[in-house]
Amino acid sequence: MKDFATKPANDEARAPACPICGKPRVERWRPFCSSRCADVDLNRWLSGSYAIPAAEDDDLPDDGGAGEGDRRRTGED
């Protein structure tokens, strides 16, 4: 029976890598390995290289008119 509570002999093999270059992480620059990789990542954010894709909502009308949730009360109830 295998003991799953023991750690593997080589902990470095499981250490997380820098997301920019793949080298082992350094605690000071976590999650990166150096200030250079941290700066590369910052530049990617500031230049717009990283973006969250937006999905078009097909339920909204394209004519700019009021949708179902935008109805206004006219006082004729």
**Binding residue numbers for Zn(2+):** 18, 21, 33, 37
Binding residue ranges: 18, 21, 33, 37
CA distance 15 to 76: 68
C-alpha to C-alpha distances, 38 to 16, 34, 64, nearest whole angstrom: 15, 6, 43
Count other C-beta atoms under 10 Å from residue 32's C-beta: 21
